[in-house]
Structure 1
Amino acid sequence: MSRPTLRSSIAEATKTMKKKVIAAMREVEYIATTDCWTTRRCSFMGVTAHWLDPDSLDRRSAALA
């Protein structure tokens, strides 16, 4: 597999995953976000989304940034 083919495949998979996450989050009324932590004098902040699936009540989450 060449580099351009791999890059194209990753870009397409990213678009598909983004559409699925947006569609799943549209069905939910409440979403909890943010995750912060520190380690050895370094601070990190990640943006995650956590919600309950309205049909099955299973926990769902997605890393946004």
Structure 2
Amino acid sequence: MVLTFLATFAVFLLVIFGMSLGWIIKRKSIQGSCGGISSIGMEKVCDCPEPCDARKKRMARDQHRII
């Protein structure tokens, strides 16, 4: 039981170290995919015809900052 736990823990540590090699070597953060959901024609994540109240407030605040 303990051997299985230690082996699993070691594998997880190796995976985390492997994933962090890009940052360790290049000091470059993880980036999203090229295009994201806009590449399939969607402007936002949800398919709601109208944004929720919290998003409307955030959009108004962002618009106010730009002007």
Tell me which interval the TM-score lies in, with the shorter structure as reference length. 0.3 to 0.5
Higher strand share: 1
Q: Which has the higher contact order (CA 8 A, sep 6+)?
A: 1
Q: Normalising by structure 2, what TM-score? A: 0.37
Higher helix share: 2
In our comparison, the structure showing a higher alpha carbon Rg is 2
Q: Normalising by structure 1, what TM-score? A: 0.38
